[in-house]
Each structure stands twice: as C-alpha cells, then as structure tokens.
Amino acid sequence: MSGDKPKLSIMSLEDEGFMAILKKVRISIGWTSLLGLTVVCFSLLLSSETLAKTFYVSDTTLEAIFRSGPGTSHRIIAALPAGTRVNLLNKENGWSMVGLPDGRTGWTLERYLSDRPPWRFTAERRAKEKKQLESQISEIESSSRELKEANERLEKQLGAQGKELEVTRQEYDAFRKGAANYIGLQKAHEKLASELPELKAKTAEAQKVHDKLQSRANMRWFLYGAGTLVLGWILGIVMGSRRKRRSSEIHR
C-alpha cells in the first residue's frame, strides 16, 4: 500500500503536465487561427476597397474599348473616351471589369485605367476653377467697393443724425424750460379761473351801479335842459313885455 501511493502521485503529476502542454498547444492553435483569420479578412477588405475604387480612362489612349468579357473575342459594348470615370469590380489576366455611371458593366484593358483623372482634364478643371475664383474675387472686390461706399454714406448719415440729435436735445431743453414756465402759467390761469366768478359778480354789481348813475346823470341833464328851456321861455316873455311897454311909452 505504501508503494502504490507514490506511483499514483507520479502519474497524477505526469497527467497534469500533459494537460498543461495540451492547453498551451490549444491556445497556440487558437491564436494562430485567429491571426490567420484576421489576415484573410484584412486582405479581403483591402481587395474590396481596391476593387471598389474609382478609376479613370487614361489619357494614354483616345478611347478604351469596352467589351462584354475579358478578351478581344468578346463583343464590343462601347468605346470609352479618355477621362471616363469607372468603378473597378474585378481583374483577370490584364483585363478589368468596370462599372459605368449609367449602370452598365463590362471589361477593358487594365493598362488603359488610371487612379487619377487625366492631366488634360485636370488642367481644364483647374482652369475652370481659376476662372470661377477670379470671378468670385471680382465679385468680392465689387462688393467691397459697394460696402465701402455704403459705409461712407452711413458715416455721413450718422454725422447728420448726430447734428439733428444735438438740435433735438437743445429743443428738448428749451421745451423743458418752456414746460416749467407753462406749468407756472397754468397755475396762474387756474387761480384766475377760480377768481373769475367773483370778478364777474363784482363786474355785474359795478355795471348795475354804473347803470344807476348813468340813469341819474341822464335825468339830471334832462332836468337841466328842461329848466333851461323854461327859463328861456320865461325870459322871452319878460323881454317881450318890456319891449311892448317901451313901444307904448314911445308912441305916447
């Protein structure tokens, strides 16, 4: 019994070592498979990106023949002029399968394709862009001049408005002073208005007194006139009687 125990412990140690080695091998195989799968996926991704890339018909030829298959024996679909943009779909023995913007697909020689637009088209595009920029610069300069003129007009208007504002301020100050005087006049008016009934009553009373005095004066003048007439009449009678006496004395 005592001899069996060490044997069992040795076998268990050997089994544990084998399992550890097997585990390491499995881990190594797993990492290798994962790395390989990553490389394959990355290669496919690069391939798909390359195939999906936009190409142009090169300016090394006037036209690129567009066929139904990869070879000169296949039917000609169209002739693609230099500068035509295509999407690369596949490659086979020096031929490239491409897609046109209108949806058609076909094959053309790989050497007629370029990953950049032809220099002639690039130069034309640059010249067109230059003209557009020059036109934009001209418009900007014209707008700048107009803005400068508008700014000058605004400055003049601002100066004129500043002068008008100063005149308005002076008028306002004068109006405020006049308003203070107006308030004083209004108070004096209100005071006179409150005293007006009393003044009207006094005026009416004075008018009555004046009317009485006037009637008395008129009566007095009437009496004076009447007395003068009576006196004159009496004097006339007296003088007439005296004349008669004198004439009778003379005739005697």
pLDDT digits over 26-73, tens only? 554 454 554 444 444 444 444 444 456 899 999 888 899 999 999 999
pLDDT digits over 138-194, tens only? 889 888 888 988 989 999 888 889 888 899 888 888 878 877 777 877 888 888 888
8-12, 196-200, 245-249: least confidently modelled range: 8-12
pLDDT digits over 214-233, tens only? 888 888 888 888 888 888 88
Quote the percentage of the chain above a pLDDT of 70: 78
Q: What's the pLDDT score for residue 216?
A: 82
Query: What does the H/E/C string look like for 141-210?
Result: HHHHHHHHHHHHHHHHHHHHHHHHHHHHHHHHHHHHHHHHHHHHHHHHHHHHHHHHHHHHHHHHHHHHHH
Cα distances from 64 to residues 77, 78, 96, 222, in angstroms, run 11, 9, 12, 146
**Residue of 158, 83, 155 whose CA lies nearest to 121:** 83
Residue 92's pLDDT band (cuts 50, 70, 90): very high
CA distance 57 to 63: 8
Instruction: Kindly indicate whether the domain formed by 52-117 is annotated with CATH number 2.30.30.40.
Output: yes
pTM of the model: 0.34
